[in-house]
Structure 1
C-alpha cells in the first residue's frame, strides 16, 4: 500500500501539469498567448483534489487491510496452535493404540497354546477367589485323595465336603465357530466345540467328585464371558448335560455370586459357632452365679449363727460382770465385820 501512495502522488502532479499544458495549448491554438483561464485552473484543482481524495481513501483502505491482516494472522496463529495441540493429542492416542495393539498381540500369543490358556484361566480364577473369600477358606492347586489336582478347593469345616472349582478354556473351537465362512464349516466347528466342552465336563465330574471328601457338585470356571454366553444361548443341551453330571458352568461374573453365597454361609457358620460358644459360656456363668448364691446363703447362715453366739457371749459376760459386782459387795461387807473385833482389842 505504501508503493501505491508513492504512485498516486506523482500521478496527481502529472494530471495537474497535463491540465495546465492542455489549457495553454488551447489558448495558443486560439491565438491568445494568455495564461489559462480560471475554469481550466479550477478543473486542474478539482482533479488534484480528486487525486488527493483517492490517496486518502487509499490510506484508509490500507489501514483497514493491515488491521484485517493482523487480526487474521492472530486468528491463524491461534488456530495453528490448536491444530498443533490436537495433533499432539492424536499422536499420544496413536501411541496408546500401538501399545494396546502390542498388548493384544501378546494376549493372542499367550492364548495361542493350551498350556498358556490354562494358566490364564487359573490366574483369573485365583484373582476372583482372593477378592471374595477369606484366605482360610480356599486352597489353590490342591491335591485330592485320588491324586488329582484341582485349580481351587473351597474348604468347609462342617460335614458335606469341600467344593472343587476348575478352570477350562475351550478357545480354539470357539474361534473356529466365529471364523466359519459357511454353514458347513460352522457345523463342523460347533460339533468340535461340543466335544471339547463335554470332555471338560466329564473330566471334572470324574476327577473332583469324591464321596466323603468333596461335595456332590463342582464348578467349571470359563474365563471368557463370550464363551459362557454362547453356551447359554445356543448350547442348552451342554448346559443340561453339565447339570446331570453335577458340574455347574460359571464365568467371571457369575462365579462372584457363587463365592459370595459361600462366604455368607461361612460367615453364618462362624456366627453360629460363636453363638454356641457364647451360650455355653453363659450357662457356665449362670452355674457359677448359682453356686455363688448358695455360698452367700451359707455364709449368711454362718454370720447369723456368729451374731447369735456373740449376743449370747455378751449376755453371759454381762451376767458374769453382774455377779462379780455382787460378790465384790458381799466380800467387802464380810471384811468390815471381821475387822471390828480387832479394833476393839
Structure 2
C-alpha cells in the first residue's frame, strides 16, 4: 500500500532509486504500455525518468527526489523554520533541473511533474507557500504517490474516451463507406434494370414481328393451296 511505501521511504536504509521504482510501478499499474515510456531520451541527450504519452503530447516526470537530505532533517528533528529554509535551498536547484524536461518543440506539454515519493514530505512541501509559488511560476508541479495516482486515473479516463472516440469515428467511416457503396450498387442496379426492361421490350417487339411474319407466311401458303385447287387438271 502507499502507507507501507511511505514507511519504507522514511527508513534510513532506503536509497534514492526506490522513488523511481515506485513511480514506474504506479504508471505500469494504471496505464496501457503504449501510453508511457521510461528513461525517455530527448534530442539533446537529456533523459527523463518517465513520460506519459497522450493523444499528441508527452508529459515528462522526474523522480530523482533528494530523499536522503530530508531523511537526515527528520532524523535530526530540526525546528520548522530551519526545515523550511533548508527545504527551499535543496528544492530550488532541483526544480530548475526538472524544468529542462519541458520541451514543447519536442512534443512535451508546457509543464513537468516532480514525483515526491512520500506523502509526509509532500504535505510539508505543500505548506511552504513561497516554494509552491515558485514551482507554479516555472510550471513544475510536485505530486505525491496518492495525487499522482489520481492524475494517472484522470489520464486513463481521457485515453479511454479517446479510444471510444476513435472507435465511433471508425464506425462512422465504415457507415459512410457502406452508404457510398450502396448508392453505387443501386445506380448500377437501376442501369441493369433499364437494360433488362429495354431487352424485354425489344424481345416483345421482335416476338410480335416474328408472329406477324409467321401469320403472313401461313396466309401465303393458304392462298397457294387455293390456287392449286383452281387450276384444271
Measure how far apart 1:123 and its partner are: 0.5
**In the alignment, what sits opposite 1:153?**
51
How high is the TM-score relative to the length of structure 2? 0.87
Which has the higher Rg, Structure 1 or Structure 2? 1
Query: How many residues matched?
Result: 224
Contact 2:61–2:114 (Cα < 8 Å) also in 1:
yes
Determine the C-alpha separation between the residues in 2 that align with 1:200 and 1:131. 27
Which of 11, 14, 36 in structure 2 is aligned with 1:138? 36
Gaps of 5+ in 2: 1-6
Contact 2:12–2:71 (Cα < 8 Å) also in 1:
no
Three-state SS of the structure 1 residue aligned to 2:104 is coil
Contact 1:125–1:221 (Cα < 8 Å) also in 2:
yes
Contact 1:176–1:189 (Cα < 8 Å) also in 2:
no
Three-state SS of the structure 1 residue aligned to 2:62 is strand
Please say if 1:247 is aligned against 2:140.
yes
Contact 2:84–2:128 (Cα < 8 Å) also in 1:
no
Contact 2:27–2:152 (Cα < 8 Å) also in 1:
yes
Measure how far apart 1:180 and its partner are: 4.2
Structure 1 residue runs of 4 or more that deviate by more than 4 Å after TM superposition: 180-183
**In the alignment, what sits opposite 1:225?**
119
Determine the C-alpha separation between the residues in 1 that align with 2:115 and 2:97. 13
Measure how far apart 1:182 and its partner are: 6.4
Please say if 1:325 is aligned against 2:218.
yes
**In the alignment, what sits opposite 2:58?**
162
Distance 1:182 1:323, change over 3 A: closer
Contact 1:180–1:189 (Cα < 8 Å) also in 2:
no
Determine the C-alpha separation between the residues in 2 that align with 1:166 and 1:181. 28
Please say if 1:174 is aligned against 2:70.
yes
**In the alignment, what sits opposite 1:120?**
18
Higher RCO structure (Cα 8 Å, ≥6 apart): 2
Measure how far apart 1:239 and its partner are: 1.6
Determine the C-alpha separation between the residues in 1 that align with 2:38 and 2:70. 27
Which of 88, 93, 99 in structure 2 is aligned with 1:199? 93
Please say if 1:287 is aligned against 2:183.
no
Moved more, 306-315 or 128-137: 306-315
CA deviation profile, 1:115-140 (whole Å, cap 9, x unmatched)? x31x1011000100001100001110
Measure how far apart 1:227 and its partner are: 0.6
Contact 2:12–2:68 (Cα < 8 Å) also in 1:
no
C-alpha RMSD over aligned residues: 2.1
Distance 1:182 1:165, change over 3 A: closer
Determine the C-alpha separation between the residues in 2 that align with 1:218 and 1:171. 19
Higher helix share: 1
Determine the C-alpha separation between the residues in 2 that align with 1:335 and 1:209. 117
Gaps of 5+ in 1: 1-102
Distance 1:154 1:240, change over 3 A: same
Measure how far apart 1:162 and its partner are: 1.1
